[in-house]
Structure 1
Amino acid sequence: MRPSLRPSGLSRPVTGAAPRAAPASASASVAATGQRGRLCGQRGLVGDRLAPIRVRTNGCGIAEPVSLREVDGITLSTPATLNCETARALQQWVRQSLVPDVGRYGGGVRSLRVVASYACRTRNNQPGARISEHGRGNAIDIAGIGLADGTELTVLSDWRTRREGRILRELHRGACGPFGTVLGPDSDRFHRDHFHFDVARHRGGAFCR
């Protein structure tokens, strides 16, 4: 199996961004539906359990995948195919950082624009690189925060601004802990327009850049 392409909407402005859909093979294989508020045993996680994702590529696949649609009333722009550890880490970040750090700005958080979740590919789609944590269901990429007033905080446009950038930098810092790896615009050219969160653990503690 060849690695899938990098999501097509990342480097565009928010008006042209195209969220990445869950793989057809995963979304078509729902093992159990109606897990409202109890997905992965956690109240507030809404979505479906999926059949195991097994592929021939070494390092890819998820034994117990879920399709996550909502976290504590905050909707995901497209269902995210993840494992439960990643879904629970996302909920922890939502509760401890996203909701309090955004506060009442723009009326509060309404949604998250997800541009990548499960995908069997190498890191940053680079030839010869290791399999990405996305290939194990350990990662989620977020490009924007939808607000109740209809506006959106975007990593691409707002990271360098004063007020909105301060909020985004707090969200980046707040993910360090719930997630083992946190990458943003200051990490490298591949992450200038989104946050990469994954649950891979490192010997020296969380890696956040």
Structure 2
Amino acid sequence: MRAIGPLTLLCMALAGMALAEAPITSPHPLPRPIIAQPETPVAAPILRPRHRPTILAAVPPIASEPAPQQALPEITAVAPLPRPQPRPKGLQVQVEQVAMAQPEPEAAPSRTSKKESRKGSVCGDPAIRGQDLPPVTSRTKGCGITEPVRVTAIDGIPFSQPATIDCDTAIALKRWMREGMAPAFGNREVVQLHIFGSYMCRSRNNVRGAKISEHGRGKAVDIAGFIFSDGKEWTVARDYNKQIRRAQKAACGIFGTTLGPGSDGYHEDHLHFDTAERRGSAYCR
């Protein structure tokens, strides 16, 4: 044991290493992982032009014809224009004097305004408002109106109820309202006329066997009162004062008959006006 030297030990160690098991195969590197690449878009096929049909190729091209040239008009010599003469001295002053001496022309009346003013009027008078009615007939002899009108206002003053009368009576009533009623009341402005009665086929004063009243002919109107702009009302039955008496008196001559309180006992609460034709002077009581 002692004879074994260091050299022997070295050899034994090398031999043991040689006896160690060697690997069967050499290790190879692992394959590189596959990374998905984006898909490359497929380009669309390029369309190529098709061959021209044989028929079109045989047709010859149409040659454009040049536009015909128009003959230019011959240039004629232009006669020289006469030059204006110098203005006479003082002409402007004369023109202004003539213009000042002439009156200004009046504006022609508008046809439209004339038609509008007559719309809704009767008897050919724009101041008399109402409507035309068909002829009024009656079985009673003496009653009826050939050309009746239904008057609702005169001169902008409305009636308490429409008055069915003829145009002669309507025109007389308008004249009385202007020349008799308005001056009699002075500063008191009438805004409504209280109509007591108009057309009615009856005898005078409703007396049996008497003649037909002018009411039955459309020639009479009864007035019972007046309403003023301050809201006050005067009636013939309650306020038969001097102003109403003055208005009644002014109706005499405009109407053929004028009756009121104290005349015959039948007109104590109203004024009766009619356009009856009378021989001589009017009948006023």
Q: TM-score range by the shorter chain?
A: 0.7 to 0.9
In structure 2, the residue matched to 1:113 is 194
Which aligned pairs between 1:5-84 and structure 2 lie closer than 5 A? 36=119, 38-84=121-167
Which aligned pairs between 1:97-136 and structure 2 lie closer than 5 A? 97-105=180-188, 108-136=189-217
Contact 2:118 2:124 in 1 (8 A): no
SS at match of 2:141: coil
What code does the residue aligned with 1:74 have? I
CA 1:36–1:151: 2 relative to 1, 3 Å? farther
SS at match of 1:170: helix
Question: In the alignment, which of 181, 204, 207 is matched to residue 280 of structure 2?
Answer: 204
Quote the Cα distance in structure 2 between the aligned partners of 1:204 and 1:156. 31
Question: In the alignment, which of 137, 140, 152 is matched to residue 233 of structure 2?
Answer: 152
Equivalenced residues, count: 169
In structure 1, the residue matched to 2:173 is 90
Greater strand share, structure number? 1
**1:142 matches 2:223:** yes
**Identity score, percent:** 50
Quote the Cα distance in structure 1 between the aligned partners of 2:121 and 2:169. 15
SS at match of 2:123: helix
Shift of 1:183: 0.1
Contact 1:81 1:137 in 2 (8 A): yes
In structure 1, the residue matched to 2:246 is 170
Shift of 1:186: 1.7
Contact 1:80 1:140 in 2 (8 A): yes
Quote the Cα distance in structure 2 between the aligned partners of 1:172 and 1:79. 21
Contact 1:36 1:45 in 2 (8 A): no
SS at match of 1:115: strand
Unaligned residue ranges in structure 2 (runs of 5+)? 1-116
Select the structure of larger CA radius of gyration.
2
Contact 1:183 1:208 in 2 (8 A): yes
TM-score, normalized by length of structure 1? 0.78
Shift of 1:53: 0.4
Quote the Cα distance in structure 1 between the aligned partners of 2:120 and 2:269. 30
Shift of 1:36: 4.4
Deviations 1:96-134 (A, max 9, x none): 0111211212xx111110010000000111111100000
Deviations 1:31-59 (A, max 9, x none): xxx96464101120000000100111100
In structure 2, the residue matched to 1:13 is none
TM-score, normalized by length of structure 2? 0.58
Unaligned residue ranges in structure 1 (runs of 5+)? 1-33, 160-164
SS at match of 1:178: coil
**Which structure is higher in RCO with an 8 Å CA cutoff and minimum separation 6?**
1
Contact 2:152 2:162 in 1 (8 A): yes
Contact 1:35 1:48 in 2 (8 A): no
Shift of 1:152: 1.1
Quote the Cα distance in structure 2 between the aligned partners of 1:205 and 1:97. 18
